[in-house]
Amino acid sequence: MPPVAKTIPAERTHHGDTVIDDYAWLIKKDDPDTVAYLEAENAYTNEATAHLKPLQDSIFQEIKGRTLETDLSVPTRKGAWWYYSRTEEGKQYGFQCRVAVEGDDPPVLTPGESLPGEQVILDGNELAGDSPFFAIGTSSVSPDGTLLAYSTDFSGDERFTLRFKNLSTGEVLGDEIPGIFYGGAWAGDGSAFFYTMVDEAWRPNRVFRHTLGSADQDPVVFQEDDERFWIGIGLSRSERFLILGAHSKITSEVRFLDANNPVGEFAVVRARETGIEYHVDHQNERFLVLHNQNAENFELASAPVDDPAVWTPVIAHRADTRLLDVDAFASHLVVHFRRDGLTGLRILPDDAEAYEIEFPEPLYDVAPSGNSEFVTSRLRLGYTSMVTPPSVYDFELASRALILLKRRPVLGGYDPADYEQFREWATAEDGTRVPISIVVRKGTPRPAPTLLYGYGSYETSIDPYFSVARLSLLDRGFVFAVAHVRGGGEMGRHWYEDGKLDRKKNTFTDFVAVARRLSGDWSGPIIARGGSAGGLLMGAVANLAPEKFAAVVAEVPFVDALNTILDPSLPLTVIEWDEWGDPLHNADVYAYMKSYSPYENVRDAAYPPILAITSFNDTRVFYHEPAKWVARLRAVARGGPFLLKTEMGAGHGGRSGRYDAWHEEAFTLSWILDRVGVSK
């Protein structure tokens, strides 16, 4: 029998609406009753899924057998070194390495063999030791290549400890700074390192400067007091400027500082103006500014370094093209864009006409990757599709030739020609056409069981991507589909705007429309899957149309959205008001969120089986959200079963070691297959 959560009625009133929350007690992480309940849920889930063990083991072996366990990345040049990472069979974590430069072409590396002169910068296995969780938050080599700044997390709460290593001697320096956030940046001369820390609401709000070897307290060089904004800092590719950005969901403000004067004062590019977002890169005597002033899909402008608030258009706004990013090099620019639901690259040489790189597949994803050098005649890019494994290319600017450097090996006889990918369209309730990306093994009889994935928030796009683990579904007769619902960014900025705030329900109805479109033609039973904000989507569609789905997988799901966004003391809440609205101070927002928040809308209806997966140390979506949700499903809804699985020693991304992660994915896929009667 499943555990029965005790009920302790907790009353809250907002805007004249009084609500009784029977399971609010689960928010108390340190309460022994909370831990006992989560462990009881884990025991029940283990018992209810024990019969899946043979299938889970088979899928794990398939993932492992298709993966070249001893492998390495394509080296990336930075100064006098080629940098790369590699993995070794049987080891959970990777190695970060480098070798000295000899010639212009990256060295040819053979998996399992070390190049003469290889230097291991970081060994994740040595650092992790016996810890059940391990993650690296920062790994940054100083401009002269002599020092490494790196940070580690052993609990999954994304609070890292920063350390420094002398790469010439291998010595780890005595400087140690606990509690930092992701990222950071070196001063141009390597004398100081800039890092960020978070406030009590887990908002990165302060930038500190650490001078190597100093025992003095690190000074705060910038503090952001507006609770809607978070900050980050980086070094421009040119290494001339430190770039410090403060961003809310809808507004930006960027500062810059001569990287060789780390004790100087940061200057503002342009003062923040509500609703204006911008990002900055540097090239020679100008900044490149990607902004949305009078340009919904963003335009690219240039600005003099000595007068950066004056913006002159370089690429004008286009209604059909969303500009995503700009990379500045000494003699050219690269613009990453999105058009017709696909990503692309536009090259702007200083001495020639602009052009776009063409790719042959109907569905794909491409982006610049690993371009550390400012002066270069090549562009490194990453490419993948739903049938093409992740691939690394060099694009020769002079000849316009694409040179394949590496395609991730997929062992066991994988042939892309055995699979097909398709773009279909669903029609939403308001007539909007919603794109769908589909992959299936050739010859699969249709309609077939389908795993339908969705996200739909923060302008995050779920672009066509390859997955080794997914092959275990496709080879067992599944269709895999991605619903590119509103709230994401697949079709441009308007696609995002039309699925947030008071239009958030479009995200949910779009997903149901996609399920309706696939039913009968492509799909038999449909299993829905999503995580984080995509877990909110899962909870919402389970309430909205439970009959459409044979099962639901909700990973670290944001299902107690209203209660979380009502509490400004919780991590990220105030920042999130620009995404979801402010229900604490606005009665209309409160009513709208209450009408879709999954926890509040569980009803007496037949629900499909639901598997909710969460992590005890998650600082983005707290474990108590799915715990409360599953408790209410059991108390109110019919159907199921409703399972809760909590990783007691992990964070938002789940278990950290690659073998552990494969076991977890194998568990989830075995549960999905079991829902449609596939047992081996």
- Of 221, 245, 274, which one is at a domain's C-terminal end? 274
Specify if 382 maps to a domain.
no
Range 419-448 average pLDDT: 97
Range 170-176 average pLDDT: 95
Confidence at 621, pLDDT banded by 50, 70, 90: confident
Domain with residue 656: its CATH number is 3.40.50.1820
Specify if 295 maps to a domain.
no
Percent of the chain having pLDDT more than 90? Answer: 90
Specify if 125 maps to a domain.
no
pLDDT over 80 at 204, yes or no: yes
Beta bridge partners of 436: 424, 483
Domain with residue 155: its CATH number is 2.130.10.120
Could you tell me the two tokens for 426? 């669903």
Pairing of strands 606-607, 230-235: unpaired
Residue 167 belongs to domain spanning: 131-274
Choose, from 532, 597, 656, 670, the residue flagged as catalytic.
532
Residue 455 has phi, psi (to 5 degrees) of: -135, -85
Confidence at 142, pLDDT banded by 50, 70, 90: very high
Can you give the pLDDT at residue 670?
A: 98
Q: Does 270 share its domain with 417?
A: no
Distance CA 627, CA 645 (A): 9
Q: What is the pLDDT of residues 261-307, one digit of tens each?
A: 999 999 999 999 999 999 999 999 999 999 999 999 999 999 999 99
Range 469-486 average pLDDT: 98
Residue among 671, 675, 670, 676 at smallest CA distance from 62: 670
Question: Quick one: DSSP state of residue 113?
Answer: -
Can you give the pLDDT at residue 653?
A: 61
**What is the Cβ-side half-sphere exposure of residue 532, based on CA atoms within 13 angstroms?**
12
Can you give the pLDDT at residue 649?
A: 72
Confidence at 33, pLDDT banded by 50, 70, 90: very high
Could you tell me the two tokens for 484? 């590119």
Q: Please report, for residues 248, 249, 532, 648, the alpha-carbon distance to residue 181 in angstroms, rounded to integers and kept in the order given.
A: 17, 19, 20, 22
Report if pTM > 0.75.
Answer: yes
- Of 274, 289, 317, which one is at a domain's C-terminal end? 274
Residue 216 burial by Cβ neighbours in a 10 Å radius (0-12, 13-18, 19+): exposed
Q: What is the pLDDT of residues 69-127, one digit of tens each?
A: 988 999 999 999 999 999 999 999 999 999 999 877 888 777 777 778 899 999 999 99
Choose, from 498, 652, 656, 670, the residue flagged as catalytic.
652
618 is a catalytic site residue: yes
Can you give the pLDDT at residue 654?
A: 59
What SS3 class is residue 266?
coil
Beta bridge partners of 336: 325, 345
Choose, from 218, 365, 582, 618, the residue flagged as catalytic.
618
Beta bridge partners of 205: none
Specify if 325 maps to a domain.
no
Can you give the pLDDT at residue 484?
A: 98
Range 476-488 average pLDDT: 98
Can you give the pLDDT at residue 156?
A: 84
Q: Are 384 and 365 in contact (CB under 8 A)?
A: yes
Specify if 18 maps to a domain.
no
- Of 257, 274, 291, which one is at a domain's C-terminal end? 274
Specify if 280 maps to a domain.
no
Specify if 646 maps to a domain.
yes
Q: How many domains are contained in the chain?
A: 2
Sheet harboring 551-555: ordered strands across? Answer: 419-427, 433-441, 479-483, 448-454, 523-531, 551-555, 610-615, 642-647
Distance CA 95, CA 578 (A): 39
Specify if 619 maps to a domain.
yes
Task: Name the average pLDDT for the chain.
Answer: 95
Distance CA 34, CA 24 (A): 11
Can you give the pLDDT at residue 174?
A: 93
Can you give the pLDDT at residue 656?
A: 61
Confidence at 35, pLDDT banded by 50, 70, 90: very high
Can you give the pLDDT at residue 572?
A: 79
Residue that is written with structure tokens 């990503």 in the block: 343
532 is a catalytic site residue: yes
Report the run of H or E that residue 45 belongs to, with start and end.
Answer: helix 32-48
Q: What is the pLDDT of residues 385-414, one digit of tens each?
A: 999 999 999 999 999 999 999 999 999 999
Can you give the pLDDT at residue 116?
A: 81
Can you give the pLDDT at residue 1?
A: 87
